[in-house]
Amino acid sequence: MTTRHVHSPDDPALVPYREVRDRDAAGLDGRPGLFIGESPVVIGAMLRSGVETLSILTSERHAARAEAMVEESRALRAGRPDPEVILAPDAILDATVGFNIHRGFLAVGRRPAQRSVQQVLPAAGTDALLLVVEEINNIDNIGQLFRNAAAFGCAAVILSPGCHDPLYRKSLRVSCGCALQVPFARSDDWHGDLARIRDDAGFLLVGATGGGAHRLQDVAAQVHGVRPRRLAVVVGAEFAGLRAETLAACSFRAKIPMAPGVDSLNVGVAAGVFLARLAET
Protein backbone atom coordinates (compact mmCIF):
# COMPACT_ATOMS: atom_id res chain seq x y z
CA MET A 1 0.00 0.00 0.00
CA THR A 2 1.25 3.47 -0.90
CA THR A 3 0.48 6.31 1.51
CA ARG A 4 1.21 9.81 0.27
CA HIS A 5 1.32 12.92 2.49
CA VAL A 6 0.58 16.13 0.60
CA HIS A 7 1.10 19.68 1.85
CA SER A 8 0.00 21.80 -1.10
CA PRO A 9 -3.25 21.96 -3.08
CA ASP A 10 -1.04 22.02 -6.20
CA ASP A 11 0.22 18.48 -5.58
CA PRO A 12 -0.44 16.40 -8.75
CA ALA A 13 -2.01 13.62 -6.67
CA LEU A 14 -4.94 15.95 -5.94
CA VAL A 15 -5.81 16.66 -9.59
CA PRO A 16 -8.85 14.28 -9.72
CA TYR A 17 -10.25 15.89 -6.56
CA ARG A 18 -10.05 19.55 -7.56
CA GLU A 19 -13.31 21.53 -7.60
CA VAL A 20 -15.49 18.48 -7.14
CA ARG A 21 -18.85 20.28 -7.37
CA ASP A 22 -18.02 22.13 -10.57
CA ARG A 23 -16.86 18.94 -12.24
CA ASP A 24 -19.87 17.01 -10.97
CA ALA A 25 -22.11 19.62 -12.60
CA ALA A 26 -20.54 18.82 -15.97
CA GLY A 27 -21.77 15.22 -15.79
CA LEU A 28 -19.70 12.47 -17.35
CA ASP A 29 -17.57 15.07 -19.14
CA GLY A 30 -16.40 16.58 -15.85
CA ARG A 31 -14.26 13.57 -14.97
CA PRO A 32 -14.07 11.32 -18.06
CA GLY A 33 -13.85 7.65 -17.22
CA LEU A 34 -13.84 8.27 -13.46
CA PHE A 35 -16.29 8.82 -10.61
CA ILE A 36 -16.08 10.14 -7.05
CA GLY A 37 -17.17 8.20 -3.97
CA GLU A 38 -17.92 10.05 -0.74
CA SER A 39 -18.08 8.63 2.82
CA PRO A 40 -16.55 5.49 4.34
CA VAL A 41 -19.70 3.47 3.53
CA VAL A 42 -19.45 4.21 -0.19
CA ILE A 43 -15.68 3.76 -0.31
CA GLY A 44 -16.06 0.42 1.44
CA ALA A 45 -18.53 -0.59 -1.30
CA MET A 46 -16.07 0.56 -3.95
CA LEU A 47 -13.30 -1.55 -2.46
CA ARG A 48 -15.54 -4.63 -2.25
CA SER A 49 -16.97 -4.25 -5.74
CA GLY A 50 -15.49 -5.05 -9.12
CA VAL A 51 -14.55 -1.44 -9.86
CA GLU A 52 -10.95 -0.25 -9.63
CA THR A 53 -10.45 2.26 -6.82
CA LEU A 54 -7.49 4.44 -7.75
CA SER A 55 -7.03 6.52 -4.60
CA ILE A 56 -8.59 7.53 -1.30
CA LEU A 57 -8.31 11.09 -0.01
CA THR A 58 -8.74 11.92 3.64
CA SER A 59 -7.44 13.98 6.54
CA GLU A 60 -4.19 13.07 8.25
CA ARG A 61 -6.23 12.34 11.38
CA HIS A 62 -8.05 9.51 9.54
CA ALA A 63 -4.89 7.78 8.32
CA ALA A 64 -5.32 4.61 10.37
CA ARG A 65 -8.92 4.12 9.27
CA ALA A 66 -8.15 4.65 5.58
CA GLU A 67 -5.25 2.21 5.66
CA ALA A 68 -7.38 -0.35 7.53
CA MET A 69 -10.11 -0.12 4.86
CA VAL A 70 -7.57 -0.97 2.18
CA GLU A 71 -6.05 -3.81 4.19
CA GLU A 72 -9.41 -5.38 5.07
CA SER A 73 -10.64 -5.36 1.47
CA ARG A 74 -7.50 -6.76 -0.15
CA ALA A 75 -8.71 -10.36 -0.24
CA LEU A 76 -11.91 -9.27 -2.00
CA ARG A 77 -10.17 -7.33 -4.75
CA ALA A 78 -8.92 -10.43 -6.55
CA GLY A 79 -5.47 -9.16 -7.38
CA ARG A 80 -6.45 -5.59 -8.24
CA PRO A 81 -3.86 -3.13 -6.91
CA ASP A 82 -4.31 -1.24 -3.67
CA PRO A 83 -5.56 2.31 -4.05
CA GLU A 84 -3.13 5.02 -3.02
CA VAL A 85 -4.03 6.61 0.32
CA ILE A 86 -3.58 10.40 0.12
CA LEU A 87 -3.40 12.28 3.41
CA ALA A 88 -3.56 16.04 3.79
CA PRO A 89 -4.29 18.71 6.42
CA ASP A 90 -7.97 19.71 6.58
CA ALA A 91 -7.26 23.16 5.12
CA ILE A 92 -5.61 21.62 2.06
CA LEU A 93 -8.52 19.22 1.59
CA ASP A 94 -11.14 21.97 1.69
CA ALA A 95 -9.14 24.24 -0.62
CA THR A 96 -8.73 21.43 -3.14
CA VAL A 97 -12.24 19.97 -3.11
CA GLY A 98 -14.07 23.28 -2.76
CA PHE A 99 -16.18 22.39 0.27
CA ASN A 100 -15.80 20.97 3.76
CA ILE A 101 -15.51 17.18 3.55
CA HIS A 102 -17.70 16.65 6.57
CA ARG A 103 -17.86 12.89 6.01
CA GLY A 104 -14.07 12.79 6.03
CA PHE A 105 -13.34 10.67 2.96
CA LEU A 106 -13.41 10.86 -0.83
CA ALA A 107 -12.18 8.31 -3.36
CA VAL A 108 -11.71 8.13 -7.12
CA GLY A 109 -12.83 5.02 -8.97
CA ARG A 110 -12.59 3.97 -12.59
CA ARG A 111 -16.06 4.04 -14.13
CA PRO A 112 -17.07 0.53 -15.25
CA ALA A 113 -17.89 -0.07 -18.90
CA GLN A 114 -21.51 0.62 -19.76
CA ARG A 115 -23.53 -2.56 -20.21
CA SER A 116 -26.45 -3.20 -22.52
CA VAL A 117 -29.88 -4.21 -21.27
CA GLN A 118 -29.35 -7.69 -22.70
CA GLN A 119 -26.08 -8.06 -20.79
CA VAL A 120 -27.65 -7.48 -17.37
CA LEU A 121 -30.78 -9.60 -17.79
CA PRO A 122 -30.69 -12.88 -15.84
CA ALA A 123 -30.65 -16.17 -17.70
CA ALA A 124 -33.91 -17.40 -19.18
CA GLY A 125 -35.93 -19.81 -17.08
CA THR A 126 -34.76 -18.49 -13.69
CA ASP A 127 -36.78 -16.61 -11.08
CA ALA A 128 -35.79 -12.94 -11.06
CA LEU A 129 -36.97 -9.49 -10.02
CA LEU A 130 -36.06 -6.33 -11.95
CA LEU A 131 -36.52 -2.64 -11.24
CA VAL A 132 -37.24 -0.65 -14.41
CA VAL A 133 -36.94 3.14 -14.01
CA GLU A 134 -38.40 5.73 -16.38
CA GLU A 135 -37.06 9.29 -16.49
CA ILE A 136 -36.04 9.75 -12.86
CA ASN A 137 -33.56 12.63 -12.74
CA ASN A 138 -33.70 13.44 -9.03
CA ILE A 139 -30.35 12.43 -7.53
CA ASP A 140 -31.78 11.34 -4.17
CA ASN A 141 -34.50 9.24 -5.79
CA ILE A 142 -31.99 7.46 -8.01
CA GLY A 143 -29.91 6.58 -4.97
CA GLN A 144 -32.94 5.40 -3.01
CA LEU A 145 -34.14 3.25 -5.91
CA PHE A 146 -30.80 1.44 -6.05
CA ARG A 147 -30.84 0.89 -2.31
CA ASN A 148 -34.32 -0.64 -2.63
CA ALA A 149 -33.18 -2.80 -5.53
CA ALA A 150 -30.36 -4.22 -3.42
CA ALA A 151 -32.57 -4.68 -0.36
CA PHE A 152 -35.16 -6.76 -2.23
CA GLY A 153 -32.77 -8.80 -4.31
CA CYS A 154 -33.24 -7.28 -7.75
CA ALA A 155 -31.14 -8.93 -10.42
CA ALA A 156 -30.68 -5.62 -12.23
CA VAL A 157 -31.92 -2.05 -12.64
CA ILE A 158 -32.89 -0.87 -16.13
CA LEU A 159 -32.74 2.92 -16.68
CA SER A 160 -34.45 4.94 -19.38
CA PRO A 161 -32.27 7.34 -21.40
CA GLY A 162 -33.13 10.40 -19.27
CA CYS A 163 -32.41 8.95 -15.83
CA HIS A 164 -29.72 10.54 -13.68
CA ASP A 165 -26.31 8.90 -13.33
CA PRO A 166 -26.34 6.33 -10.47
CA LEU A 167 -22.59 6.91 -9.97
CA TYR A 168 -22.99 10.64 -9.42
CA ARG A 169 -21.40 11.35 -6.04
CA LYS A 170 -24.58 12.24 -4.12
CA SER A 171 -26.73 9.50 -5.71
CA LEU A 172 -24.07 6.95 -4.88
CA ARG A 173 -23.98 8.20 -1.29
CA VAL A 174 -27.79 7.96 -0.92
CA SER A 175 -27.65 4.43 -2.29
CA CYS A 176 -25.04 3.55 0.37
CA GLY A 177 -22.92 2.20 -2.47
CA CYS A 178 -25.65 -0.15 -3.74
CA ALA A 179 -25.32 1.29 -7.25
CA LEU A 180 -22.00 -0.58 -7.31
CA GLN A 181 -23.66 -3.78 -6.12
CA VAL A 182 -26.73 -4.10 -8.37
CA PRO A 183 -26.00 -4.48 -12.11
CA PHE A 184 -27.58 -1.74 -14.22
CA ALA A 185 -27.95 -0.74 -17.83
CA ARG A 186 -29.16 2.41 -19.55
CA SER A 187 -31.50 1.72 -22.44
CA ASP A 188 -31.01 3.49 -25.75
CA ASP A 189 -34.25 2.06 -27.19
CA TRP A 190 -36.71 2.39 -24.33
CA HIS A 191 -39.92 0.97 -25.76
CA GLY A 192 -38.06 -1.61 -27.80
CA ASP A 193 -36.26 -2.78 -24.67
CA LEU A 194 -39.49 -2.93 -22.65
CA ALA A 195 -40.96 -5.20 -25.32
CA ARG A 196 -37.84 -7.37 -25.34
CA ILE A 197 -37.81 -7.67 -21.54
CA ARG A 198 -41.47 -8.73 -21.65
CA ASP A 199 -41.61 -10.88 -24.79
CA ASP A 200 -38.10 -12.25 -25.27
CA ALA A 201 -36.87 -12.46 -21.67
CA GLY A 202 -40.25 -13.54 -20.28
CA PHE A 203 -40.81 -10.87 -17.60
CA LEU A 204 -44.23 -9.73 -16.46
CA LEU A 205 -44.03 -5.91 -16.37
CA VAL A 206 -45.88 -4.47 -13.37
CA GLY A 207 -46.42 -0.75 -13.91
CA ALA A 208 -46.77 1.41 -10.79
CA THR A 209 -49.61 3.86 -11.36
CA GLY A 210 -52.76 5.31 -9.80
CA GLY A 211 -56.41 5.42 -10.72
CA GLY A 212 -57.90 2.63 -12.79
CA ALA A 213 -55.23 0.11 -11.80
CA HIS A 214 -55.61 -3.09 -9.80
CA ARG A 215 -54.55 -3.08 -6.16
CA LEU A 216 -50.94 -4.18 -5.70
CA GLN A 217 -51.94 -7.01 -3.36
CA ASP A 218 -54.36 -8.36 -5.98
CA VAL A 219 -51.66 -8.34 -8.67
CA ALA A 220 -49.27 -10.06 -6.24
CA ALA A 221 -51.86 -12.77 -5.61
CA GLN A 222 -52.39 -13.18 -9.34
CA VAL A 223 -48.72 -13.87 -10.06
CA HIS A 224 -48.21 -16.02 -6.96
CA GLY A 225 -46.98 -19.45 -7.94
CA VAL A 226 -46.08 -18.50 -11.52
CA ARG A 227 -42.84 -20.25 -12.46
CA PRO A 228 -40.39 -19.12 -13.49
CA ARG A 229 -41.38 -16.03 -11.53
CA ARG A 230 -39.86 -13.24 -13.62
CA LEU A 231 -41.26 -9.87 -12.56
CA ALA A 232 -40.20 -6.33 -13.48
CA VAL A 233 -41.49 -3.38 -11.43
CA VAL A 234 -41.76 -0.31 -13.69
CA VAL A 235 -41.74 3.09 -11.94
CA GLY A 236 -41.78 6.71 -13.08
CA ALA A 237 -41.67 10.18 -11.55
CA GLU A 238 -44.16 10.85 -8.76
CA PHE A 239 -46.29 13.49 -10.44
CA ALA A 240 -45.75 12.79 -14.14
CA GLY A 241 -46.10 9.05 -13.70
CA LEU A 242 -45.37 6.51 -16.39
CA ARG A 243 -45.87 7.52 -20.00
CA ALA A 244 -48.95 6.17 -21.76
CA GLU A 245 -46.80 4.09 -24.10
CA THR A 246 -44.97 2.58 -21.14
CA LEU A 247 -48.19 1.69 -19.35
CA ALA A 248 -49.46 0.12 -22.55
CA ALA A 249 -46.39 -2.14 -22.59
CA CYS A 250 -47.03 -3.36 -19.02
CA SER A 251 -48.54 -6.76 -18.29
CA PHE A 252 -50.25 -5.33 -15.18
CA ARG A 253 -51.04 -1.87 -13.86
CA ALA A 254 -50.96 -1.77 -10.07
CA LYS A 255 -51.55 0.82 -7.38
CA ILE A 256 -50.85 1.07 -3.67
CA PRO A 257 -54.15 1.62 -1.80
CA MET A 258 -53.85 4.78 0.31
CA ALA A 259 -55.93 6.74 2.78
CA PRO A 260 -58.36 9.35 1.42
CA GLY A 261 -56.68 12.65 0.55
CA VAL A 262 -53.31 11.06 -0.30
CA ASP A 263 -52.85 10.28 -3.97
CA SER A 264 -49.16 9.45 -4.37
CA LEU A 265 -45.90 8.51 -2.72
CA ASN A 266 -42.29 9.43 -3.44
CA VAL A 267 -41.05 7.08 -6.14
CA GLY A 268 -38.41 5.58 -3.87
CA VAL A 269 -41.01 4.75 -1.21
CA ALA A 270 -43.47 3.40 -3.79
CA ALA A 271 -40.82 1.23 -5.42
CA GLY A 272 -39.90 -0.20 -2.03
CA VAL A 273 -43.53 -1.14 -1.36
CA PHE A 274 -43.88 -2.78 -4.78
CA LEU A 275 -40.63 -4.70 -4.53
CA ALA A 276 -41.31 -5.87 -0.98
CA ARG A 277 -44.76 -7.13 -1.91
CA LEU A 278 -43.73 -8.85 -5.11
CA ALA A 279 -40.57 -10.35 -3.62
CA GLU A 280 -42.84 -12.27 -1.22
CA THR A 281 -44.83 -14.06 -3.91
Q: Are residues 125 and 252 in the same domain?
A: yes
Q: Are residues 101 and 158 in the same domain?
A: no
Contacts (Cβ under 8 Å, ≥6 apart) of 5: 60, 87, 88
Q: How many domains, in total, are found in the chain?
A: 2
Give the whole-angstrom CA distance, residue 94 versus residue 273.
40
Q: Residue 230 is part of a domain; what is its CATH number?
A: 3.40.1280.10
pLDDT per position as a tens digit, 233-257:
999 987 788 999 999 999 999 999 9
With a pLDDT cut of 90, the percent of the chain lying above it is 73
Reply yes or no on whether the pLDDT at 118 is more than 80.
Answer: yes
- Mean pLDDT along residues 59-75: 91
Give the residue among 34, 44, 27 at the shortest CA–CA distance from 176. Answer: 44
pTM metric for this prediction: 0.93
Q: Are residues 83 and 162 in the same domain?
A: no
**Residue 157 lies in domain:** 117-279
Q: Are residues 80 and 144 in the same domain?
A: no
